[in-house]
Structure 1
């Protein structure tokens, strides 16, 4: 990566070459399963969840690597592409299981008239959780990201589905055909659903992430393997920086100092994310990196505490 004042604020057009982006900001996005450095206890928690067929609830601050572990597990165990369900305050269990475009079907019925086929298949799609629960030989990998952002009732709504590994699509239980092929989430493949009933044969590997912003019921927690991301250490961050930036751990005193300051700030209660540190080191080690007061100003900008506006 190259650092240069591409924009100078004079309004004069000029040709510039921005150079290569940081490795984690290339598109299409590349999985980070090789760069991820899991703590030993996280490896144990993953194996416990796999053996017990239980969801893994990982709690930690933003940018601590909670959602990256599932990419590594899916790659090592050859579970296929990771299914993702990003939670918001409006997320519902139904949308995670399947999507039904009722208005689209009504519109098609009006266009086709009485002679139309009234086929429901084009208007149904499995959601990420529904796709993960389709019968398969190998379990699928599902990320339920930021579960603590959900409506208060959503974790309770998940309990029965996660415990039984099955659900129904009401629109199909009364449909004239017993078997309907429904498109999977995030792909073009379709799977048969018989009489609206979906039952998993291999319980998916599910990772739920939480920023620790709310509490969950004991009924929900007892159905999960729980793990809390540890505070970073200087040595662990050296390894992470080396893995992501492909630089020697002993790149120089400036990088070491930056890492030590980062660890001290996090230990002191400041909210900082790992990708902020990677951004800072990337700029600090770039060709033509800023120096002196300019470097300090850029580092302050990149490493701004997250709770500050």
Structure 2
């Protein structure tokens, strides 16, 4: 069981090693990196490459760890008891299985994605220590002990919005997806647009990397934004010659809204372009 990337996902040697090491160690793989570098997509492609189903748990600021295990709907049970419903005699009718429970009881080994774990409360990772380590938990209302039939491949993503507890980190295999270099980006572009004209890619990458090097940008454009930008360039028939005539230091790139995602960065770049034009007179 080895992950070597897929036709749709360009995985570096280091990333392949991290995925396979986590599988061998049977530990969760904690993936960090800039937004837009393919952390969530990695779980989808690992599942596809290994022929496993994928279960997703998208974490929000209001998400509690208990929700991943199960939820007991006491309100519905109380209402049914008042209505004389016979279902109230089986408390299991009011237990809603969470994503971890579904992964644990799956007969086929699966990939479990816990996406953006850093969005939740700081206690969220600590509340899952035993469940992810021992792959079991108790349902207190019914007295059941749920144990993993086949230990899932767990992939956890984080955008580094907050620090994760040391006890949690100790139980994970960690990998940081560094921003791709130019050669890797060209391979990623080729996956999405196999017939794209290479001169256009080169000119687009010149502008893209020039933008990323602008100091004090609040959000640097990411890989996914480059892919979106190229799609728009192709749709609007903007060719390599048009891009080559753009001076990154004195003009806004065409369709810059695909690359810059907040007004502060747009205004800063507009001021820099204005100052550069005045200085060239």
Task: Say yes or no: TM over 0.5.
Answer: yes
Report whether the alignment pairs 1:263 with 2:192.
Answer: no
How many residue pairs are counted as aligned between the two chains? 250
Aligned-pair CA distance for 1:235: 1.3
Out of 147, 152, 163, the residue aligned to residue 199 of structure 1 is: 147
- Report what 2:110 is aligned to: 140
Following the alignment from structure 1 to structure 2, what is the Cα–Cα distance between the partners of residues 215 and 143? 19
Contact 2:34/2:179 (8 A) holds in 1: no
- Report what 1:171 is aligned to: 141
Written as runs of structure 1 = structure 2, the 5 A alignment for 1:242-253 is 242-248=190-196, 251-253=197-199
Aligned-pair CA distance for 1:296: 5.4
Q: Secondary structure at the match of 2:201?
A: helix
- Report what 2:49 is aligned to: 76
Aligned-pair CA distance for 1:151: 0.5
Over 3 Å counting, the alpha-carbon distance change for 1:231 and 1:256 in structure 2 is same
- Report what 1:281 is aligned to: 230
Following the alignment from structure 2 to structure 1, what is the Cα–Cα distance between the partners of residues 208 and 253? 16
Following the alignment from structure 2 to structure 1, what is the Cα–Cα distance between the partners of residues 102 and 214? 43
Written as runs of structure 1 = structure 2, the 5 A alignment for 1:123-134 is 123-134=94-105
Q: Deviations over 1:249-284 (max 9, x none)?
A: xx1433312123323443566522222111110111
Following the alignment from structure 2 to structure 1, what is the Cα–Cα distance between the partners of residues 120 and 35? 16
- Report what 2:274 is aligned to: none
Out of 68, 73, 77, the residue aligned to residue 101 of structure 1 is: 73
Aligned-pair CA distance for 1:218: 2.3
Report whether the alignment pairs 1:301 with 2:257.
Answer: yes
Q: Which runs of 5+ in 1 are unaligned?
A: 1-31, 174-195
Following the alignment from structure 2 to structure 1, what is the Cα–Cα distance between the partners of residues 151 and 262? 37
Out of 24, 27, 47, the residue aligned to residue 20 of structure 2 is: 47
Over 3 Å counting, the alpha-carbon distance change for 1:241 and 1:220 in structure 2 is same
Following the alignment from structure 1 to structure 2, what is the Cα–Cα distance between the partners of residues 97 and 147? 15
- Report what 2:10 is aligned to: 37
Relative contact order, higher structure (CA 8 A, sep 6+): 1
Contact 2:92/2:142 (8 A) holds in 1: no
- Report what 1:12 is aligned to: none
Over 3 Å counting, the alpha-carbon distance change for 1:144 and 1:252 in structure 2 is same
Over 3 Å counting, the alpha-carbon distance change for 1:212 and 1:267 in structure 2 is farther
Report whether the alignment pairs 1:155 with 2:111.
Answer: no
Following the alignment from structure 2 to structure 1, what is the Cα–Cα distance between the partners of residues 166 and 101? 25
Aligned-pair CA distance for 1:168: 0.9
TM-score by length of 2: 0.80
Following the alignment from structure 2 to structure 1, what is the Cα–Cα distance between the partners of residues 159 and 195? 30
- Report what 2:64 is aligned to: 92
Out of 7, 30, 36, the residue aligned to residue 57 of structure 1 is: 30
Q: Secondary structure at the match of 1:37?
A: coil
- More helix per residue: 1 or 2? 2
Q: Secondary structure at the match of 1:281?
A: helix
Q: Secondary structure at the match of 1:44?
A: helix
Over 3 Å counting, the alpha-carbon distance change for 1:132 and 1:308 in structure 2 is farther
